[in-house]
Amino acid sequence: MSAPTPTPATTAPCEICWAEVATHLYGFHREWHRAQTVGHASIEERILRRATVAATDVVRDRLAALADRTGTSS
């Protein structure tokens, strides 16, 4: 029995997955921000929060570029 042949539908990047990633990253950012506002943020948490914000910005920009290419709103 051989493995199924990949089709473009199974190998193409998924736009919905990017939206899910952005949603999860934003959720993590909110949790770290909440921890900092009550005074429990360590240096590691601050670094992670900054990295999360940067990653969220990248995903947002990619979604906007995709929307521009496809003519849809982001």
**Better-predicted residue by pLDDT, 68 or 14:** 68
Amino acid symbol at 13:
P
Average pLDDT estimate for 14-28: 71
pLDDT the model gives residue 61 = 87
pLDDT the model gives residue 29 = 75
Distance CA 61, CA 42 (A): 29
Tokens (6 digits) for 58: 């990248």
Tokens (6 digits) for 8: 């473009």
Instruction: Tell me which DSSP letter residue 5 carries.
Output: P
Residue 28, number of CB atoms within 10 A of its CB = 16
